[in-house]
A and B are shown apart, each in its own frame.
Chain A
Amino acid sequence: MVRNKKRDRISNLPDLLVSHILSFLTTKEAVATSILSSRWKTLWTLVPNLDLDEDEFEWILSDEKQNRKRKKRVCRSGFTFVQIVSKIWALRNAYPLQKFYLNWLYDCDPIHVDKWVSTAITSVLEELTLNICPHLPFDIPSTLFNYCKTLVDLRLHGNIIVDPPPSSLGFPSLKILHLLGVQYANHDSFSRFLTCCPILEYLYLKVIEMDEECNFIITLPTLKRLDLNMQDFLYKLEINAPALEYLEFVGFLHKVVLLENLSNLVKAVLFVSYDSEVGDTEDYGNRVMDFIRALYNVKSLHLGSFTTEYLCNVPEFDPPMFHNLAFFNFDFHCCIPHVLPLLLQRAPQLVVLTLNRDKGHLHSTSEQESLKWNFSEYVPKCLSSHLTALQFKGFKGLKDELELIGHILQMARVLKTMTLSSDPSIEKEKIRVLKELVMFPRHSSTCQITFN
């Protein structure tokens, strides 16, 4: 008897290719394929990746109490996260993993995490991401530092203690490293960690409250990108990265910050945090200035609004020449008479200037309109020969904004476009402002003004 001729399209795909398809699904989604047919019952166990993400489920608190303090959290079908993950591990047998991703914050139990992570650490592991918040800090197994020859991407986020053993084989293949909010066993742990990452290209470091001062010595000849988020003052930072192309700094700038050898830097972003406890803003302004001096060779620079405010407290503000600067994002809160004009003087090749009116803190709003921009009679070279685009975000139509735009329009000989994106509060005033803008004398006859 001839059965129906409907071809089983998938049966001619070997197991390896089916598991390759399933590797593009999350583990939860892949497990669901186990009931497609008897062949499929175990195909998902061949996928060399595991991603266990508590956010993939909808949780409810059951009435049952897990321990005396917290209620048991279960998904709609009544399983806890631990039950789900334990089941998955049990069925996978010992197939070594290439990628292991764990996102577990609620009721995170370090004993389970240790079991799973220890099993995942093999010489085949390529990517490891832990985003956990156990009630007791989780000690990274020391095997991580000795068996991960093929690890390319490592991301540790949360209540994790990093303690590299004195002699470790390290991470000869590691290119990407995220250390977010982790704790260090002692003040040299971080530096020791980095010495076992000989080919690291991307480092993302977030430092939260520290108990004692830690040394963050980043001497990496291969590093191309560095993101720093320092939410505490207790640190010592040294950066020596001759191959660095992108640098981002967000947070509190401590006294001892050493930047060396950043001549290949292409783009830098500096968002210094406002600190209410900083008594001497002149000193802080100097720190910001020192940081910026090291960025003299960049092509693209973005300064946040607190950063630019601190700059106005620098006595004898004397920025370096930014010979290569072509794209400049200047966020500001209120008019800082000398900072922007002087920076423009020092950026002869500037092509695109983006101004962004943002929130600030140091000056009260009443001073906004009283200060006038201090453009000297010497027209900055960039305005007379290079600047082709000007963008203004958060535009409110205030007097000092119109003044600034007026100044620039008068001097910008080759300006092609000016785009204004307004603050939502300005809607009704748009027409008045537009009329005023159109009346401004423009040095560049081809300049087009657009209003968003």
Chain B
Amino acid sequence: MKFCAVKQYFDDENNNNITSGASTTMIPLPNVESHPLAILITYCKKHLKIKANNADNKKETEKEMEQYEQELLKKVMPQELTELILAANYLNFKEALDFFCRAVASAIQNKSIEFVRKFFGLESDFELGEEEKLREEFAWSFEGVDED
């Protein structure tokens, strides 16, 4: 099961020998909002489906998964990415966590500092002159980066 946190819950249930007549179990996930959860569930289902369809062909699985991921990224807003990362982390869903983190990394790669600040909603809180000092110290890391 991909959602390791959920799996853990089931394992714990079994260990406690709780008999449940109901076929549906309610699992509390206090740290995950419903919207990112829905996306993660779809991602997970899609991943399993693609894997099953291309049982032996690893390359095909990867290719199809990539295509799906590209489509998914077009629909997800940048602000949702943080929520998705938090949710995937809480649920211990490694593939989704890596995927969304990589997506954020690609979005900010070699972009200007102003762009990245805007992307994350950050504001500079440096003392006067501190930022300039850092820029000088690490000038080599800004080569090839977009201009502000």
| Given known A13-B86, A17-B86, A76-B143, contact A36–B113 (CB-CB < 8 A) | yes
CA distance A388 to B109 in the complex (A): 47
User: Taking the complex as formed, is B71 at the interface, i.e. its CB lies under 8 A from any CB of chain A?
Assistant: no
| Given known A10-B122, A36-B117, A37-B123, contact A20–B141 (CB-CB < 8 A) | no
Is the Cβ of B122 less than 8 Å from the Cβ of A58?
no
Binds A, one of B4-12, B16-24, B46-54, B124-132: B124-132
CA distance A24 to B85 in the complex (A): 14
Residues 6-31 of chain A: 1 if any B CB is under 8 Å from the residue's CB, otherwise 0? Answer: 11111111000100111111001101
Is the Cβ of A37 less than 8 Å from the Cβ of B124?
yes
Residues 93-114 of chain B: 1 if any A CB is under 8 Å from the residue's CB, otherwise 0? Answer: 0000100011011101110010
Is the Cβ of A8 less than 8 Å from the Cβ of B120?
yes
The 10 listed contacts between A and B (C-beta, < 8 Å) are: A7-B121, A8-B121, A9-B120, A10-B82, A17-B101, A36-B113, A37-B122, A37-B123, A57-B140, A78-B139
With a cutoff of 8 Å between Cβ atoms, the chain B residues found around residue A87 in the complex are 137-138
Question: What is the distance, in angstroms, from B95's C-beta to the closest C-beta of chain A?
Answer: 13
> Residue on B with the closest CB to A80?
B140
CA distance A100 to B134 in the complex (A): 25
Is the Cβ of B101 less than 8 Å from the Cβ of A21?
yes
Interface size counted on chain B using CB atoms at 8 A: 37
The 6 closest A-B pairs by CB, nearest first: A77-B139, A24-B105, A10-B120, A31-B141, A32-B141, A21-B101
CA distance A55 to B76 in the complex (A): 33
Is the Cβ of A84 less than 8 Å from the Cβ of B140?
yes
User: Taking the complex as formed, is B79 at the interface, i.e. its CB lies under 8 A from any CB of chain A?
Assistant: yes
With a cutoff of 8 Å between Cβ atoms, the chain B residues found around residue A41 in the complex are 134
With a cutoff of 8 Å between Cβ atoms, the chain B residues found around residue A13 in the complex are 82, 85-86
Question: What is the distance, in angstroms, from B145's C-beta to the closest C-beta of chain A?
Answer: 6
| Given known A8-B122, A41-B134, contact A77–B102 (CB-CB < 8 A) | no
Is the Cβ of B86 less than 8 Å from the Cβ of A31?
no
Is the Cβ of A32 less than 8 Å from the Cβ of B104?
no
User: Taking the complex as formed, is B92 at the interface, i.e. its CB lies under 8 A from any CB of chain A?
Assistant: no
Residues 306-320 of chain A: 1 if any B CB is under 8 Å from the residue's CB, otherwise 0? Answer: 000000000000000
Residue from the set A35, A58, A75 with the largest chain B CB neighbour count within 10 Å: A35
Question: What is the distance, in angstroms, from B79's C-beta to the closest C-beta of chain A?
Answer: 6
User: Taking the complex as formed, is A450 at the interface, i.e. its CB lies under 8 A from any CB of chain B?
Assistant: no
> Residue on A with the closest CB to B127?
A38
Which of A9, A31, A38, A75 is the one whose CB lies under 8 Å from B82?
Answer: A9
CA distance A313 to B101 in the complex (A): 57
User: Taking the complex as formed, is B135 at the interface, i.e. its CB lies under 8 A from any CB of chain A?
Assistant: yes
| Given known A25-B105, A35-B113, A37-B123, contact A12–B86 (CB-CB < 8 A) | yes
With a cutoff of 8 Å between Cβ atoms, the chain A residues found around residue B68 in the complex are none
User: Taking the complex as formed, is A186 at the interface, i.e. its CB lies under 8 A from any CB of chain B?
Assistant: no
With a cutoff of 8 Å between Cβ atoms, the chain A residues found around residue B142 in the complex are 32, 77
With a cutoff of 8 Å between Cβ atoms, the chain B residues found around residue A24 in the complex are 101-102, 105-106
User: Taking the complex as formed, is B29 at the interface, i.e. its CB lies under 8 A from any CB of chain A?
Assistant: no
Question: What is the distance, in angstroms, from A241's C-beta to the closest C-beta of chain B?
Answer: 21
User: Taking the complex as formed, is A34 at the interface, i.e. its CB lies under 8 A from any CB of chain B?
Assistant: yes
Is the Cβ of A35 less than 8 Å from the Cβ of B97?
no
User: Taking the complex as formed, is A106 at the interface, i.e. its CB lies under 8 A from any CB of chain B?
Assistant: no
CA distance A41 to B130 in the complex (A): 11
User: Taking the complex as formed, is B61 at the interface, i.e. its CB lies under 8 A from any CB of chain A?
Assistant: no
With a cutoff of 8 Å between Cβ atoms, the chain B residues found around residue A29 in the complex are 109-110, 141
